[in-house]
């Protein structure tokens, strides 16, 4: 799984889609506050039907959150870490 950001089709400046680059599926969105990406407004992140969501104040923190979710989910998909229940 590799997550990437893209503007929605209507190019709303305050909303980015979060896509799984491997499947092409939309997995969430990022809604920027009034001031956009200048790190001054609130940024709402909603991923995987709300399973992972937060509000942050800085764009770099938002990127870090998304990358962290990607890392956790990729780790869980790795066969060497899958539980082998009896």
Let me know if residue 36 belongs to a domain.
yes
- Give the count of beta carbons closer than 10 Å to the beta carbon of residue 62: 23
Let me know if residue 60 belongs to a domain.
yes
**Encoding tokens for residue 16?**
């980015």
pLDDT tens digits in sequence order for the chain, 86 residues long = 899 988 877 666 688 899 999 999 999 999 987 654 544 569 999 999 999 999 999 888 999 999 999 999 888 666 665 555 54
Tell whether pTM > 0.85: no
Let me know if residue 41 belongs to a domain.
yes
Query: In total, how many domains does the chain have?
Result: 1
b/e code 64-85 from CB counts within 10 Å (16+ = b): ebbeebbeebeeeeeeeeeeee
Let me know if residue 44 belongs to a domain.
yes
Let me know if residue 86 belongs to a domain.
no
- pLDDT value at residue 32: 83
Q: Give the residues across from 29 on adjacent strands.
A: 17, 46
Domain span at 49: 3-81
Whether the CB-CB separation of 30 and 13 falls below 8 Å is answered with no
């Amino acid at each position: 799984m590799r997550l990437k950001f893209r503007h929605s089709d209507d190019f709303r400046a305050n909303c980015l889609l979060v896509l799984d680059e491997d499947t092409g599926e939309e997995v969430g969105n990022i809604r920027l506050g009034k001031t956009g990406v200048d790190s001054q407004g609130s940024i709402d992140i909603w991923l995987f039907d709300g399973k992972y969501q937060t509000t942050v104040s800085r764009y770099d923190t938002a990127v870090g959150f998304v990358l962290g979710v990607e890392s956790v989910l990729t780790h869980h998909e790795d066969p060497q870490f899958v539980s082998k229940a009896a």
